[in-house]
Structure 1
Amino acid sequence: MLLEKTWRWFGTNDTIGLSDLKQIGVEGIVTSLHHIKPGVVWHVDDILPVKKMIEKEGLRWSVVESLPVSDDIKLGTGNRDKHIENYKTSLINLAQCGVKTICYNFMPVLDWVRTDLHYRDNDGTETMLFDYHTFAAFDLFILKREDATGDYPENIIRKANEIYKSMNDEEKEELAYNIIIVTQGFINSAVEDTNDYKELFLRAIEQYKKLGTGKFRENLSFFLKEVVPVAGNYGIRLCIHPDDPPFPLLGLPRIASTIEDFEQIFSYYNSPANGLTFCTGSLAARKDNDLLQFIEKFADRIHFAHLRNLRFLNDYSFYESGHLDGDIDMYPIVKLLLKEQYRRKNEGCEDIRIPFRPDHGKKMLDDFRRKSNPGYPLIGRMKGLSEIRGLETAIERILKDVD
């Protein structure tokens, strides 16, 4: 009983078609209604055409990624109550359409951060890099965020200044644009692509900085106490995505980064419907996170898995390596996930298979001639899917032989 093989698909604008995915062994689709803004209701008439399009190819809509949480909800301002009611309605409509695993995040301003979207690995493939010194150069000298110097030690500031001075104006603009616009542009960005995008970004940061970590946690607690009961009543599995990366950036609150964070999140409303998207690449970017401990502690809350790998560089820096080629040992992770599925089967649970997707991928071969969102090439992800499929097939055989 292998994990459910899923694939993130960006709708009809995606250069990869649903029929292509069926050919490579994908069983389920992970997608969203990308044209609907956060806070707006997803109506049945919006959901069903996408579901039928997926099912026409013999696939199923396995996971919504994401049903976005609006800034009003995260900040606890303006239209919060209305947006929460709309969120509940969207959940009910999705459940009535038979789509019941919902991934979301509660990250402020930025959903994920990389400093180089075209980092070349030694084998000639292209991947993505987070370089902490370069990010500090962006924060300190390009964005010029107020009081940013207090967030970095002196040695990091010196290195960041050297990097900044080595860059020409075009490189500085490209770095800022990639961080603020390109990486966020296909996931309901908080900042519009306008001439004053850096100014808008600074304003968004300031809103959350004024809010503070304590109040931000309270806002997540309020949200979960409102929506989890609805999810539970309709058989929905909500699964929060960890911070990416899971350490402080830009003075923004980080509340989904550690085991202690998730213990707190699950305590806000104790229900199986209040679950986790287990993202190996996000969680592992913080070296003191023990991924096996995460699974052992929260196995029954893992409703969705993102499997990818990384290699650490200096300080907090890392790049995304091949799915089995990196500093994360994927074997025991996949083994524990499979064991959790067997536990669910033995206890008579419904929907026992955990959907996983090969998260991100390295550009290779024909990927260089295809258009794709950052981190989402066809062949690189297909390679990752095949590698993980082979790994789990071998693990399952070992587990059966032991039994």
Structure 2
Amino acid sequence: MKKMQQTMRWYGPNDTISLEDIRQCGVSGIVTALHQIPVGEIWTVKDIKERQQIIKDAGMEWVVIESLPVHEDIKRASGNYKEFIENYKISIKNIAECGLKVITYNFMPILDWVRTNHAFENPDSTKALLYNKEAFIYFDVFLLKRPNAKNDFSEKEIADSIEYGNKLSKSEKELLFKNVLLGLPGSKINFTPEKILALLENYKDIDDSKLRENLIHFLSEVAPIAEELGVKLAIHPDDPPFSVLGLPRILCTEEDIKKIFNAVPINANGLCYCTGSLGANPANDLEKIIDDWGDRIHFLHLRNVIRENDSVFRESEHLNGDNPMESIVEKLIVLMKNRDISLPMRPDHGFLHSLEEGKEQYPGYSLIGRLKGLAELRGLEKGIIYKLNNI
């Protein structure tokens, strides 16, 4: 039986969690990116090799790029998008020259992910990420004051959000605003409301169909290059898997996956299988996605969520949530055996434990919480492999 290649995400030299810290978790692989390079610019061989050497000197290997960002011009098919696509192709070639084989990316407009609460308190006082639709509507309509935002919600939803907002203090409203507009992963800079509203204006004429068309055009250009060079592109699902701020969403369901894979039917056009993002939508059958698209899964984000109701979901313990992690991991082990491959996996997100509270770090990426998730997933995998070998 093949085992998953255990990795952890590292945000580069400015990450307060060091490579030494991560190495002591027992992983051999690092997931990272060149966050210092502006989106759209070329990743040079020199820059890639410098980062590889830093990781090698720490006793590990850079195994997955997360992410090689897609410029907003490409998503809108406007401005300098053709130049940025050519730059992306050159970056893929340079990445391949350095021996890296998996590139993760997403096609979410403006914001990579959204949560309304970065410190939901669990019964044991650990902190988790949470999304509350009432809180988000209050932010969208009454704090950000997005033009015509009220048209996206029902009268009851607006009323419920007002009731929610009326209970918040001034500081709690400021924190909600900050939480939603966190910015891009790898960045500690929040978006300003003026910047967000200006960016949203750029998407006023782009719906789901148009955004999907732009993604397919992008993939038709870059995926053949990746295929030729033996590089796998792994698109990350939308997080959360529904529209926010009136923006289009095109990778929320298995049907969305099918449309993109059928449009560009080559293996390099693949999926970052994120059980948290896909699992936040109760309509998604996570096991069926493995059955149907297992040959296109190139990277694994394993985490779990609890859907409290139609309006609220939160991160849960990796093995205790609404996603059937035992069944999912067993299917992945069988998949890897059939494909004769060890898929890279990282425990995605984790609780913030009191020992690390107050330290500067990226939300969801405290070391102890991820190490706990990794240990649980490692034990689960070992037990399943033992079971399968003794059937």
Give the shorter-chain TM-score range. Answer: over 0.9
Match of 1:256 in 2: 251
SS of residue paired to 2:177: helix
TM-score, structure 1 normalization? 0.94
Match of 2:228?
233
**Per-residue deviation, 1:50:** 0.6
Deviation of 1:316 (Å): 2.9
Residue 121 of structure 2 is matched in structure 1 by 120
Match of 1:64 in 2: 65
Structure 2: gaps spanning 5 or more residues:
none
1:53 counterpart letter in structure 2: I
Equivalent pair of 1:38/1:188 in contact (CA under 8 Å) = no
Q: In the alignment, what sits opposite 1:74?
A: 75
Which residue of 195, 204, 217 maps to 1:200? 195
Q: How does 1:291-330 map to 2 (within 5 A)?
A: 291-330=286-325
2:356 to 361, 364, 367: 367
Indicate conservation of the 8 Å contact 2:128/2:350, yes or no: yes
8 Å CA contact 1:37–1:188 kept in 2: the answer is no
Query: Of residues 217, 220, 227 in structure 1, which corresponds to 2:215?
Result: 220
- The C-alpha deviation readout for 1:145-186, integer Å capped at 9, x for no partner, is 122222212221111011222223332222112211x3x243
Q: Deviations over 1:213-268 (max 9, x none)?
A: 22111110110000001000100000000000111222111101111111111122
Q: How many residues align?
A: 390
> Alpha-carbon deviation of 1:310?
1.0
Structure 2: which amino acid aligns with 1:81?
A: K
Query: Alpha-carbon deviations, 1:20-67, whole Å to 9, x = none?
Result: 222221121000000111110000111001101111222111100000
Alpha-carbon offset, residue 13 of structure 1: 1.2
Distance in structure 2 (CA, Å) of the matches to 1:27 and 1:268: 35
Distance 1:262 1:163 in 2: 35
Partner residue in 1 for 2:334: 339
Contact 1:324 1:388 (C-alpha < 8 Å) held by counterparts: yes
- Counting only pairs closer than 5 Å after superposition, residues 3-402 of structure 1 correspond to structure 2 as 3-180=4-181, 182=182, 184-187=183-186, 193=190, 197-345=192-340, 352-402=341-391
Identity %: 46
User: Deviation at 1:19?
Assistant: 2.1
The one-letter amino acid of 1:299's match is G
Assess if the C-alpha contact under 8 Å between 1:65 and 1:102 holds in 2: yes
Q: Is the 8 A contact 1:3 1:356 kept in 2?
A: yes
1:287 partner amino acid: P
Report Cα offsets for 1:247-299 as digits up to 9, x if no partner. 12221111011111111111221111000000000001111111011111110
Structure 1 residue 124 displacement after superposition = 1.0
- 1:211 is paired with a residue whose SS is coil
Question: 2:242 is paired with a residue of what secondary structure?
Answer: coil
SS at match of 2:110: coil
- Partner SS state of residue 30, structure 1: strand
Query: 1:209, 1:253 within 8 Å by CA — same for their partners in 2?
Result: no
Aligned residue for 2:300, secondary structure, equals strand
The amino acid of 2:246's aligned partner reads: G
Task: Out of 292-301 and 12-21, give the one that drifted further.
Answer: 12-21
> Is the CA contact 2:353–2:369 (under 8 Å) kept in the aligned structure 1?
yes
**Is the CA contact 1:131–1:317 (under 8 Å) kept in the aligned structure 2?**
yes
Question: Which amino acid is 2:283 matched to?
Answer: D
Task: In structure 1, list runs of 5 or more residues that go unmatched.
Answer: 346-351
Pairwise CA distance, 1:381? 0.4
The answer to whether the Cα contact below 8 Å between 2:137 and 2:161 also exists between their aligned partners in 1 is yes
Q: Is the 8 A contact 1:367 1:380 kept in 2?
A: no
1:13 match: secondary structure: coil
SS of structure 2 residue aligned to 1:210:
coil
What code does the residue aligned with 2:345 have?
F
If the length of structure 2 is used for normalisation, what is the TM-score?
0.97
Per-residue CA deviation, residues 57-114 of structure 1 (Å, 9 max, x unaligned), is 2211110000000001001111101000000000000110011100000001111110
CA distance in 2 between counterparts of 1:344 and 1:211 reads 38
